Structure 1
């Protein structure tokens, strides 16, 4: 298929009123990626060369969501809503440039895979003017039926228009199709609107092509591939399907998931073999996990990279810009943001590290904070290799702690600490013998008086 040009037209102008949202329907996300971007990714994976998006409200935002995955994607506005064929013809200028294949897709079918699209294109390459993608179901009521005769697709019949025999057909229209680029405009221009709604239906090109002696056929895809999203409940169902697929692919690639149904992946999550994922872990966009990592329960990782042999959690949060180098350890109730944790370094519990560089083998005690924000700007904290930061310390950036330096527990560090230095940043302790008894008596008298 690499020798054939293909224009993919993504219909994304629907208002999506049932989503009850100010945002265009196709921008609602599955696995952290807008639905329309999932569709574009599938089209490119199927060998698509150019993408045209038919848009309505929020059209520029829709185009921007697609362009990272389909460079040069164009948008065409559908001003009036006069049916699917009318929507496709909004991209007339793109179709007219001439392509071997024209692939028509919908921006709200995010689960479509590349394989059925490639199969439809292959059928066009073999001489079919139109190849419709359908699915089989034991409960076809409500779906348009694909009417076949002698191995050819002769019509797509809406459920309400089906004869009793046709209603028994379980092969249903999935809406997506590939069209011979040489025939596309002629077929689309021949679609009329002599129907109850006065709309121009894309499905009519099947009968038009047959009437012109052109070959028309259908290819089959799993129902999940063609699932359209109309409301928030269906969005959640699609998310669940996507996650189940992704978890299976991840486990088959060599990753262990103790309770896979509790792990949530993003569209771009990368996890290396021999990594173990414990229950209730969430990967946001931009997470890259190398091989041999352990991610303990209830951790959240987004925009972070984790090197081989590292350990994360439980109850850890890696935010964008976090980089854990080989065999680093980030433990329970630790948050890392825009910071490098060097090889073998340990940040084991109850700590915030932001805008920092931690050297190899350093140990960060419980309750340590890098005070990186002054109310206006962020500042960097550098902690050298082999340094030891005592518990409950605050490092006020910009500040550096040298290699093998020691910061005493409970310190507030505002000045640089040299290599092998020992820093105390706390008030001197004073002890007053016997004063505790007098203090208790005083407080008891105050409490008694207030009750009286």
Structure 2
């Protein structure tokens, strides 16, 4: 059956105290509304509608790749008002699922349960039973146990306030009767708003079957109104990711201290120490070890590689059995072949480092093609920028580069060559040549040291 999915994202979110839309705040590195849209887009035969209002340009620009039908709700008057504005865009047949841009952790499996119960004469409600239902609309059932209405807290009687089954706001309604119900909505209530929940009583009156589904946990239907609630959902999301990683064979030395802000794929026997952050898409092969306080973004790391503490890897590819860090930074375009070593306080950028090559410490290697079994001494830099353009440094296999050397690109160092420590290399070095380029030492007797004024 065809399905319209309406995502409500028009609220101001004033309690966030933010210069941008509430639904653009992130959980797990992804804007809340994008999480909801992605879940909606995974449903079968889904036609997406996005209702925007306050800061709507921000929201539509951020979500334009979903190709949703954008509907504006200026001067919003409740959830029923939002659906009324979408009504003319809904399909004549099928059903409409209502979701919320600030309820980001709803699961596809829950929505699929709802869809499985949908018929042209069935309205499906997502409800949840809470120990403390304060603030939620209550699910009112008749003597037979059938849902007959939803009463908002401000309009509820003392008896209704005692009900602990509450409305999540997520419902799936058949389109044909929905159009009639939306047209009949009024704002005769304490808030002066058009409540979407009022259609429940209309459906009961019309003899439509009203069935309920409950989510696996409360976090699925938790909304965000302020930064405290946002932080709580962030922790919930990270806990879910930690559990999944451990179930897939990774060891987390402290599951409460990991942040996955994208997709993290791990092989067997991966070990991740505390306070590591993973952004974008990161793949870790079997046996990879990640030390504490590391930051990995959009990278692939081959099996058996060890990444020591406080290292950052960004848009790079790392081979097998490599040794990285501590305090190393691999910038975009870095490619390490198997068994390469990048040591402490080394930075690389757009560099191909060959198999078994070592850049052990205190060096910068950028715009470089480096062969196998190269040894780079401490303090070596490739001078790749002339102030306007970047240039390439080419280092062949088995080269030895002494400490504190500068290779001024464009320059080539052939196989087996040696660069003497402290050299500034501006010309090509041939095979097995020794290159040394430094001033002759001069010692002056009785030289007066500077004194403090």
TM-score, normalized by length of structure 2? 0.89
Assess if the C-alpha contact under 8 Å between 2:155 and 2:190 holds in 1. Answer: no
Query: For the aligned residues, what is the CA RMSD?
Result: 2.0
**Alpha-carbon distance in 1 for matches of 2:299, 2:192:** 53
Assess if the C-alpha contact under 8 Å between 2:94 and 2:175 holds in 1. Answer: yes
**Alpha-carbon distance in 1 for matches of 2:337, 2:27:** 34
Give the secondary structure class of the aligned counterpart of 2:330: strand
Assess if the C-alpha contact under 8 Å between 2:250 and 2:271 holds in 1. Answer: yes
**Alignment pair present for 1:164 and 2:158:** yes
**Alpha-carbon distance in 2 for matches of 1:32, 1:352:** 26
Work out which of the residue numbers 419, 441, 445 in structure 2 matches 1:430. 441
**Alpha-carbon distance in 2 for matches of 1:48, 1:175:** 22
Assess if the C-alpha contact under 8 Å between 2:54 and 2:74 holds in 1. Answer: no
- Structure 2 residue runs of 5 or longer lacking an equivalent are 385-391, 425-437
Work out which of the residue numbers 32, 35, 40 in structure 1 matches 2:37. 40
Describe the superposition over 1:381-400 as per-residue Cα deviations: whole angstroms up to 9, x where unpaired: 11112211111101122211
Q: Within 5 Å, which residues of 2 pair with 1:316-327?
A: 316-319=311-314, 321-327=315-321
Work out which of the residue numbers 351, 359, 377 in structure 2 matches 1:390. 377
Deviation at 1:198, TM superposition (A): 2.9
**Alpha-carbon distance in 2 for matches of 1:99, 1:265:** 40
**Alpha-carbon distance in 1 for matches of 2:94, 2:129:** 28
**Alignment pair present for 1:148 and 2:135:** no
Equivalent in the alignment of 1:307: 302
Work out which of the residue numbers 3, 7, 13 in structure 1 matches 2:4. 7
Describe the superposition over 1:418-447 as per-residue Cα deviations: whole angstroms up to 9, x where unpaired: 1222223252463749x5xx56xx449x46
Equivalent in the alignment of 2:389: none
**Alpha-carbon distance in 2 for matches of 1:227, 1:313:** 37
Work out which of the residue numbers 15, 18, 31 in structure 1 matches 2:28. 31
Equivalent in the alignment of 1:204: 198
**Alpha-carbon distance in 1 for matches of 2:45, 2:156:** 35
**Alignment pair present for 1:417 and 2:413:** yes
User: Greater shift after overlay, 417-426 or 339-348?
Assistant: 417-426
Q: Structure 1 residues 234, 344: closer, same or farther in 2, change over 3 A?
A: same
**Alpha-carbon distance in 2 for matches of 1:59, 1:122:** 33
Equivalent in the alignment of 1:189: 183
**Alignment pair present for 1:279 and 2:274:** yes
**Alpha-carbon distance in 2 for matches of 1:73, 1:82:** 22
Give the secondary structure class of the aligned counterpart of 2:161: helix
Deviation at 1:129, TM superposition (A): 2.9
Give the secondary structure class of the aligned counterpart of 2:327: strand
- Structure 1 residue runs of 5 or longer lacking an equivalent are 373-379
TM-score, normalized by length of structure 1? 0.89
Deviation at 1:410, TM superposition (A): 1.0
**Alignment pair present for 1:255 and 2:244:** no
Deviation at 1:195, TM superposition (A): 2.3
Give the secondary structure class of the aligned counterpart of 2:263: coil
Q: Structure 1 residues 151, 66: closer, same or farther in 2, change over 3 A?
A: farther
Assess if the C-alpha contact under 8 Å between 1:279 and 1:297 holds in 2. Answer: yes
Give the secondary structure class of the aligned counterpart of 1:199: coil
**Alpha-carbon distance in 2 for matches of 1:205, 1:420:** 81
**Alignment pair present for 1:264 and 2:259:** yes
**Alpha-carbon distance in 1 for matches of 2:290, 2:92:** 51
Equivalent in the alignment of 1:177: 171
**Alpha-carbon distance in 1 for matches of 2:175, 2:307:** 52
Describe the superposition over 1:67-93 as per-residue Cα deviations: whole angstroms up to 9, x where unpaired: 55xx43221111221111111122223
Deviation at 1:46, TM superposition (A): 4.2
Deviation at 1:237, TM superposition (A): 1.0
Equivalent in the alignment of 1:376: none
**Alpha-carbon distance in 2 for matches of 1:63, 1:421:** 58
Equivalent in the alignment of 1:55: 52
Assess if the C-alpha contact under 8 Å between 2:356 and 2:374 holds in 1. Answer: yes
Assess if the C-alpha contact under 8 Å between 1:129 and 1:183 holds in 2. Answer: no
Deviation at 1:163, TM superposition (A): 2.8
Assess if the C-alpha contact under 8 Å between 1:59 and 1:75 holds in 2. Answer: no
Describe the superposition over 1:346-375 as per-residue Cα deviations: whole angstroms up to 9, x where unpaired: 1021101012111111111211112x4xxx
Assess if the C-alpha contact under 8 Å between 1:8 and 1:48 holds in 2. Answer: no
Equivalent in the alignment of 1:408: 402
Give the secondary structure class of the aligned counterpart of 1:172: strand
